[in-house]
Amino acid sequence: MGLSMVQIPPGIKTSTNIGSPRQAMDYAQKERLTGRMEFKFNLKNVHLFWLNGKPVGAIMLPKFGVDASYGRDVVDGMPQLIKTVQKIDIFTLDEETLEKLMEKHPDSTLADKVIDVDDIAKFLGSTDDKTLKLLKMILFSEEEASIDLFRNAYTMPPLADYTKEEFEEAFSNLLKGRVISTDGIKVQIPKYIRLIMKNEIISGIIQKGELRDILKEDDPFIKEFFDLLKKSDGRVPYTLFRDKYKGSREKYRLFETGDMLLEKDTLIEGIDRNGNTLYILPTEILQNLEKIKQDRVDVEVSKEELKKQLLEKFKIREPDRDQIKNIVNKFYEA
């Protein structure tokens, strides 16, 4: 893209006296800067854009007739360049102006690339069963859960068929598909991707019709099972069914009902922050059981509307903690 196509919004210059790149980085994070930093060099200027104290974009503009550079390419070149910086200025910008700039120049983003929204349905429809099971577990579990907790839960009842090797394969498939990333401890999924995927899965459960057919069965154990889910906001510990009902001659059918719903992909297995296995029925389904039973839930309209709302809400993607540390370090003097 030529220089004439890149218009950097001026913003309001701060009165802060910045003497070094390190001071600039520390200031932006401490003051939760939303705006831009301008690093002036002999033959080029580098603009680093910030949102609430996090670096979210970068553009380098040469002073004489060469195309601009964007994003991680700019950051990766800073260690060789930063020693020759002549001046650093900091400008505040309003969030709307920053959003428009990032929308116009998407290559400037510093967050890792993630799956395209339009590819989500295709990924969910084409991935293998073990990968989809793990993805559902990650999406509907508590976000504080670690990779090790997911690995352990994935190989324990009621998903005891899977091995640790199969976990690693499924986990690798999600990384390759750019569905998840990781800091080595926890799984990371951008909020808008997480919400859209959850909505796709919920819509799929409703559209398949098996839940509707199950709800229409005149079975007191099925009714009791869903009543338990309602009382627990759709999240019931697996151990409750195992310990309380598996050994009971009268209530064993209740334990079997949970296994049957899992096998039909109507129920989701997840974990809490301590790694305890949960039976999960998403709230969006739990609150509409009667409508689903009568086949009166229009999921298509709500799905498209959700996509529209989420893409509007999450216009700027933020890098994770480790990415931010890596970006900031490249602006420090060696």
The answer on 69 and 129 residing in a single domain is no
The answer on 129 and 11 residing in a single domain is no
The answer on 134 and 64 residing in a single domain is no
The answer on 277 and 230 residing in a single domain is yes
pLDDT tens for 29-86 read 999 999 999 999 998 999 999 999 999 999 999 887 668 889 888 988 888 888 899 9
Strand order in the sheet with 235-237: 235-237, 277-280, 268-271
pLDDT tens for 198-215 read 988 998 888 888 888 888
pLDDT tens for 127-159 read 999 999 999 999 999 877 888 999 988 888 776
Residue 334 forms part of a structural domain: no
pLDDT of residue 157: 72
pLDDT of residue 111: 76
The answer on 272 and 207 residing in a single domain is yes
Q: Flag whether pLDDT at 2 surpasses 50.
A: no
Instruction: Say if residue 96 is exposed, middle or buried (CB neighbours under 10 Å; 0-12, 13-18, 19+).
Output: exposed
Confidence at 334, pLDDT banded by 50, 70, 90: very low
The answer on 217 and 290 residing in a single domain is yes
The pLDDT of 88-117, averaged and rounded, is 86
Residue 296 forms part of a structural domain: yes
Cβ(200)–Cβ(282) below 8 Å: no
The answer on 144 and 101 residing in a single domain is no
Range of the domain at 281: 117-313
The answer on 56 and 175 residing in a single domain is no
Q: Which structure tokens are listed for 205? A: 């459960």
The answer on 177 and 121 residing in a single domain is yes
- Residue 332 makes CB contacts below 8 A (sequence gap 6+) with 21, 22, 25, 82
pLDDT of residue 261: 87
The answer on 195 and 238 residing in a single domain is yes
Pairing of strands 87-92, 69-70: unpaired
The answer on 130 and 91 residing in a single domain is no
User: Structure pTM?
Assistant: 0.66
The answer on 303 and 201 residing in a single domain is yes
Q: Flag whether pLDDT at 297 surpasses 90.
A: no
pLDDT, averaged across the chain: 84
pLDDT tens for 157-210 read 776 678 889 999 999 999 889 898 876 788 888 888 888 899 889 988 888 888
Total domain count, the chain = 2
Q: Flag whether pLDDT at 245 surpasses 80.
A: no
Confidence at 311, pLDDT banded by 50, 70, 90: low
Confidence at 1, pLDDT banded by 50, 70, 90: very low
